[in-house]
Amino acid sequence: MKKTNAMRELDKNKITYEIKEYEVDENDLGAIAVSMKTGQDITKIFKTLVLLTDKNDMLVACIPGADNIDLKKLAKVAGVKKVEMLELKKLLPMTGYIRGGCSPIGIKKRHRTFIHESALTKDKIMISGGMRGLQIIISPEDLIKYTDMEVADIII
């Protein structure tokens, strides 16, 4: 298997992880489909969302797969007036990743990154490995430390 940017970064920094591959359904790239295809608990699968602030700064948020982001809560913890989802057409140029394969690790440039507090209740979580059909299984503490994530209640 070809290494992704996310995997190369973890290897370079000697961070322990496992990978889980699954068959991709281009019509359903959501976390619930990932849960069903990998046999993993949906509460351990964290999807990566990319957002813009009212000042046009990019933020990254990781939340449990079945949940929805609370834009007002995220704006408040980020100390900005407003956040909105990044337009899909801007995802690849701004992150280097495509929808369904966006990882919080290996994004072109480091940005403020947030993770929902429920991650701390898990021994391992799954995040995108940087391409469709690939998940990284990692300790939330290692992920938080490496990406300098801020832990907060950011879901509805």
CATH of the domain at 126: 3.90.960.10
How far apart are the C-alpha atoms of 124 and 140, rounded to whole Å?
Answer: 6
Alpha carbons within 13 A on the beta-carbon side of 107: 23
Domain with 48 in it:
5-152
How far apart are the C-alpha atoms of 11 and 25, rounded to whole Å?
Answer: 28
pTM of this structure: 0.92
Q: What is the pLDDT of residue 108?
A: 86
How far apart are the C-alpha atoms of 99 and 122, rounded to whole Å?
Answer: 25
Q: How many domains does the chain have?
A: 1
DSSP letter for 15, please: -
DSSP letter for 57, please: -
Digit-by-digit pLDDT tens for the chain (156 residues) are 689 999 999 999 999 999 999 998 888 888 888 988 998 999 999 999 999 999 999 999 999 999 999 999 999 999 999 999 999 999 999 999 999 999 999 998 889 999 999 999 999 999 999 999 999 999 999 999 999 999 999 999
